[in-house]
Amino acid sequence: MYNASNARYRGIFPVVPTTFTASGELDLPSQKRCVDFMIDAGSDGLCILANFSEQFLLSDDEREILTKTILEHVAGRVPVIVTTTHFGTTVCAQRSRRAQDMGAAMLMVMPPYHGATFRVGEPQIYEFYAKLSDAVNIPIMIQDAPAAGTPLSAAFLARMAKEIEHVAYFKIETAGAASKLRELIRLGGDAIEGPWDGEEAITLFPDLDAGATGAMTGGGFPDGIRPIIEAHRMGDRDKAYALYQQWLPLINYENRQGGILTAKSLMAEGGVIACEAPRHPWPEMHPDVRAGLIETAKRLDPLVLRWA
C-alpha cells in the first residue's frame, strides 16, 4: 500500500541554473549566491546539473567542479539531488558514485538516449538502472521526460521500483502526467517512495491531486510555489488553488516562453547573479519575452527581485 509519509524527501526541489560569465566561463561566485537565494526562498532541497542547468553544455571537468562547489557551499543546509544522466551504463554509474561520495542525497537519471534516434529497449533500460543501483546506496529518481524520446510505461516504472533496490523516485513530465502518476502509485504501492511533478509546475495542481509529493520546478520563485504544495498537503485545496491561480502566469512564462533561461533572467534582474547569458550556441532570450517575464514577475513580487 502506498504511504506518502514514508518518503525521505518531499516538497519543492527546484533546479539550480548554471551561471556563466558573459564570455561563457563558469561564474562560481554567482553560483554560490544563486544557491543561497534558492535556500532562502524556501526550497526543501535542490537539484543540480539537470537540463534546466544547461548540463548538455558542460564538460565533464566542469560537472565535477560544480558538484563539488555546490555541495560544499550548501554544506548540508538542504538535500541536493545530482543529475548524472549518461548513455553509457558504466559512465553513469561512475558519475553517480562520485556524486554520492561528494554528498549527493539522491541521483536523477534519464533513460539512455542520444540524439534523435539512438535508443535502447526495456531490457537494456532495466539493466542500466539495476547496475546503477548496484553502484550506489542513495535513492535514484527516474526522470520520465519527453527529451529522452523513450516511452516508459507506468507498469515498467512500477516494476523497476519493486525490483531495483534504490529506484524509488519518479519525476513525471510526460503528457497526461496526473493519470500516469495515479497509475504508477496504484501499480507500485509502497515501492513508489516519491511520485514527483516536473515541467516547471505547469501541471502542479492536478499532479498534487494525483498524489505527487514533490515538485522539481525552475529555480526563480520557490517562494511562490512552496505555499501551493504546503496548502494542498494540509488539505486546503481552496487555498492551494487560489495560490496556483495567482502564480500560474509566471509559471507559464517559464514553461512556455522563457524556458531554461527564465530563472537566470529573474536572478540577474534582482541582482542575485552577475550575468544571465547562456553558453553558446544556446540562444539568448528574446528581449521582448524577457520584458514580459519581468513585468509578470513584478506583479507577484517574488523574493528573487528583492533578495540581493
User: What CA–CA distance (Å, rounded) separates 172 from 149?
Assistant: 13
Active site residue 32: no
* Paired residues of 171 in beta bridges: 143, 196
* Paired residues of 144 in beta bridges: 172
Q: Are 212 and 181 in contact (CB under 8 A)?
A: yes
User: What CA–CA distance (Å, rounded) separates 129 from 132?
Assistant: 5
* Paired residues of 107 in beta bridges: 82, 140
Strands 167-172 and 80-83, by their bridges, are unpaired
In sequence order, what are the residues at sequence separation of 6 or more whose Cβ sits closer than 8 angstroms to the Cβ of residue 225? 12, 14, 201, 204, 215, 217, 247, 251
Dihedral over alpha carbons 88, 84, 268, 257 (to 10 degrees): 60
Dihedral over alpha carbons 220, 221, 223, 227 (to 10 degrees): -140
- Rounded to 5°, the CA angle 293-147-35 comes to 50
* Paired residues of 167 in beta bridges: 140
* DSSP class of 284: P
Q: Which of 171, 180, 239, 298 is catalytic?
A: 171
User: Burial, 153: exposed, middle or buried (Cβ in 10 Å; 0-12, 13-18, 19+)?
Assistant: middle
Q: Give me the active site residues, please.
A: 171
